[in-house]
Chains A and B, each alone.
Chain A
Amino acid sequence: MRQGPRRVAEHPDTAARTLPELVSSGVVRARTGDLGVAPVLIGLAILWTVFTALNPVFLSPTNLVNLTMQSAATGVIAIGIVLLLLIGEIDLSVGSVSGLAGAILAVGSVQLGLPLPIVLLAALACGPLIGLVYGLLYTRFGVPGFVLTLAGLLAALGAQLQVLGTAGSITIPFDSAIVQFGQQLFVPAWLMYTIDAAVVALVAWRLVAEARRRAEAGLAARSTAAIALRVGALALLLFACSWYLHQDGGRGVGAMVLLFVILVAGTHLLLTRTRFGRAVYAVGGSVEGARRAGIRVARVQISLFVLCSTFAAIGGILAAARLAGANQSSGGGDMFLNAIAAAVIGGTSLFGGRGSAFSALLGVLVLTSISLGLTLLSLDSSVRYIVTGAVLVLAVIVDSVSRRSRAAAGRA
């Protein structure tokens, strides 16, 4: 997905865009290497088709509820990775930072018996603190993010082990509010439909208001048909998801899942609708260009490191809530690899300047689908690693090829 709202304004005098124009502009974009989220959507469709064909249980509401619940924590972490990838940087320590946040949560609430709000705050705070250190070291000394966060990975892992102490593994009681939130709290159907309706109404109102303002300003505006199509598609998607997840004993949308989606949408708005977001894409496109335009590049970079670690801490809290505890391997293993893979598979470019918050959502759905689909086929993690690796390579190939055809089409 590209930065900013895209109008293909042929000319300010052409009053409205017709549907065929819309389609043909999409074709042009695809041909010139601007694929957006199309590849990952196609990939997701293929995966779901194959897994359902092999085992129909895959598409059952219960399994899909499970899929969304399992996606939330890694997905939140992947949002942070998307943000850093947008400026061509990376954070390898998100796994251990999430593990540290989980450890603080578990130790604080179980061993020390502190009130939950304070423990949550402490667990959350380790994110921005670590991110700030990264940001300052990165901007002051020009240490590559790769090495910086590799060092941070070790340090945060050490801190996690220290916090856990000799206990090593701590279980948070089932009746704790945070575990209830992570495992038992689902958004009731009526509330979910209300939220869907509100979102659809808001988007519709915004599109109409924007089209009217553009028309008044003499700019090319979306036609009513195009707006209706968009809003209709959005409504269909939201209501269908909410409805389907409640069928056949499905528990619906988990509170954690809703939080994840809200964070994705919020990040999307931040990136596309604010000056900060514009600055992020500018820095990702050309640091020197951004600097000479008066953008305080260092501030943008520091903010993104802070945001990334914060999302990692939130992800760690969600993981601890869902697994009802923390141990020495929380956030370890392939956690950070999955978060990074999710961002890239979701269509965020490794070369900086291109990507969208939604790639965290779509990418993590792909990864979790692979994981659950293979489990349903009774295949173990060895196969999962191989398949995930293959999909990641595919995503990177798509990224590289589309970058090359963008360059060829002069849309670098």
Chain B
Amino acid sequence: MPGPALSVARPDEHPDRILSLRGITKRFGAVRALTGVDLDVHVGEVVAIVGDNGAGKSTLVKILAGVHPADGGSIRFFGQLTPIDSPTDSLDLGIATVFQDLALCDSLDVVSNLWLGRELTRAGALDEVEMEKRSWGLLRELHARITDVRVPVASLSGGQRQTVAIARSLIGDPHVVILDEPTAALGVSQTAEVLNLIERLRDRGLGVILVSHNIADVLAVADRVVVLRLGRNNGEFRASETSSDALIAAITGAMDHSRRGGDDPE
């Protein structure tokens, strides 16, 4: 539970705070993947989570996505204490996750993937026309470079697949979109495309959690940067007021910010 120094106990205090995690802990057997991690996400904000390999970024994402339940700590959603025990719980709250491995169904086409698990129906049958129409609308809004929505996603390029995964996350009108290493497998121009996309998500008023270990990307789009190191918070920075050197120092542990972890930025 949050200590007295933390200021999230009162729901009405931060009306624009979508998500608030306190003291999140997760073990895998003997491995302590996360220890007492705190994180806040606000409306219209891009929060970057950075850290070295194995820092626990993906684990944190999976806890929010309901893939693994947390062992300890609290999750508040718009101030309400809310357990997230399954992917369905997470989706129902309005948390949409784009996983590092995308988790697309390769043999299904673009439209099917976009609407998977929340298909539109008409008189009990799939409403392919409406789904395809809205898919085009969404893809156009995201300026996606996809010319055929009825091909299996396996036949798309890495950037296109990433776009499909991001577009899919928007189908349920989420409050928060989580992107785990969205640019890790992409080339330069595709990376730029995805970063543009992230800015469009923020402009829609969504909270965005961007997991990355690419400092340049993070500084380019994030509002706030949360550093994880060895499964703990190791500092929190405003992107506009920090430098890549400071971030790298926090990531590698040259600078120990761990006591400051979870400090309220405001």
A286: chain B residues within 8 A (beta carbon):
103-107
**A8, B108: Cβ atoms closer than 8 Å:** no
A5 part of interface (Cβ distance < 8 Å)? yes
B88-107 vs A, CB cutoff 8 Å, 1 = contact: the mask equals 10010000010100011111
A229 part of interface (Cβ distance < 8 Å)? no
Main secondary structure of the interface of A (DSSP, over half): loop
* A3 and B108 contact, Cβ closer than 8 Å, known pairs A274-B126, A293-B116, A294-B87: yes
**B152, A278: Cβ atoms closer than 8 Å:** no
Interface residue stretch chosen among A44-52, A64-72, A130-138, A213-221: A213-221
**B107, A353: Cβ atoms closer than 8 Å:** yes
| Cross-interface CB contact of A217 among B117, B126, B133, cutoff 8 Å | B133
List residues of A (232-289) whose CB comes within 8 Å of B's CBs: 273-275, 278-279, 281-282, 284-286, 288-289
| Cross-interface CB contact of A282 among B116, B129, B155, cutoff 8 Å | B116
B149: chain A residues within 8 A (beta carbon):
9
Residue in chain A with minimal CB distance to B90: A294
**B117, A5: Cβ atoms closer than 8 Å:** no
Interface residue stretch chosen among A357-365, A393-401, A404-412: A404-412
A295 part of interface (Cβ distance < 8 Å)? yes
**A275, B67: Cβ atoms closer than 8 Å:** no
Residue in chain B with minimal CB distance to A28: B151
**A282, B108: Cβ atoms closer than 8 Å:** yes
A380 part of interface (Cβ distance < 8 Å)? no
| Cross-interface CB contact of A285 among B105, B125, B147, cutoff 8 Å | B105
B220-244 vs A, CB cutoff 8 Å, 1 = contact: the mask equals 0000000000000000000000000
A389 part of interface (Cβ distance < 8 Å)? no
| Cross-interface CB contact of B106 among A3, A5, A412, cutoff 8 Å | A412
* A274 and B105 contact, Cβ closer than 8 Å, known pairs A219-B133, A411-B155: no
**B129, A275: Cβ atoms closer than 8 Å:** no
**A292, B118: Cβ atoms closer than 8 Å:** no
A12 part of interface (Cβ distance < 8 Å)? yes
**A410, B147: Cβ atoms closer than 8 Å:** no
B97: chain A residues within 8 A (beta carbon):
292
B109, B121, B152, B168 interface centre (most CB from chain A within 10 Å): B152
A288: chain B residues within 8 A (beta carbon):
103
| Cross-interface CB contact of B148 among A9, A274, A296, cutoff 8 Å | A9
A284: chain B residues within 8 A (beta carbon):
107
| Shortest beta-carbon distance from A1 to chain B in Å | 13
**A292, B108: Cβ atoms closer than 8 Å:** no
Give the complex CA separation of A294 and B147 in angstroms: 27
**A295, B125: Cβ atoms closer than 8 Å:** no
B126: chain A residues within 8 A (beta carbon):
4, 273-275, 278
A31 part of interface (Cβ distance < 8 Å)? no
B6 part of interface (Cβ distance < 8 Å)? no
| Shortest beta-carbon distance from A297 to chain B in Å | 10
**B91, A12: Cβ atoms closer than 8 Å:** no
* B contact residues, total (Cβ < 8 Å): 39
List residues of B (107-128) whose CB comes within 8 Å of A's CBs: 107-109, 112, 116-119, 121, 124-126, 128
A278: chain B residues within 8 A (beta carbon):
108, 112, 116, 119, 126
B154 part of interface (Cβ distance < 8 Å)? yes
A222 part of interface (Cβ distance < 8 Å)? no
* A410 and B103 contact, Cβ closer than 8 Å, known pairs A3-B108, A218-B133, A219-B136: no
**B125, A274: Cβ atoms closer than 8 Å:** yes
Give the complex CA separation of A282 and B91 in angstroms: 18
**A294, B106: Cβ atoms closer than 8 Å:** no
**B148, A10: Cβ atoms closer than 8 Å:** yes
| Shortest beta-carbon distance from B53 to chain A in Å | 21
Give the complex CA separation of A291 and B104 in angstroms: 11
Give the complex CA separation of A406 and B155 in angstroms: 9
**B154, A292: Cβ atoms closer than 8 Å:** no
**A410, B67: Cβ atoms closer than 8 Å:** no
Give the complex CA separation of A411 and B109 in angstroms: 10
**A412, B154: Cβ atoms closer than 8 Å:** yes
| Cross-interface CB contact of B155 among A11, A273, A410, cutoff 8 Å | A410
Give the complex CA separation of A285 and B113 in angstroms: 11
| Shortest beta-carbon distance from A189 to chain B in Å | 32
Query: Can you list 22 A-B pairs, Cβ within 8 angstroms, ordered by A?
Result: A9-B148, A10-B148, A11-B148, A12-B136, A219-B129, A274-B125, A278-B119, A281-B107, A281-B108, A281-B112, A282-B105, A282-B112, A286-B104, A286-B107, A289-B104, A289-B105, A292-B87, A293-B117, A294-B91, A296-B88, A354-B107, A411-B154
Q: Spell out A's residues near B (CB within 8 Å).
A: 3-12, 32, 210, 213-214, 217-219, 273-275, 278-279, 281-282, 284-286, 288-296, 353-354, 406, 409-412
Q: Spell out B's residues near A (CB within 8 Å).
A: 65, 67, 87-88, 91, 97, 99, 103-109, 112, 116-119, 121, 124-126, 128-130, 132-133, 136, 147-152, 154-156, 168
Which 5 pairs from chain A and chain B are nearest by CB? A293-B117, A294-B117, A285-B107, A285-B105, A293-B116
Extra pairs beyond A275-B126, A410-B156 (15, CB < 8 Å): A3-B107, A4-B128, A9-B149, A11-B147, A274-B125, A282-B105, A289-B104, A292-B103, A293-B87, A293-B168, A294-B88, A295-B117, A409-B155, A410-B154, A410-B155
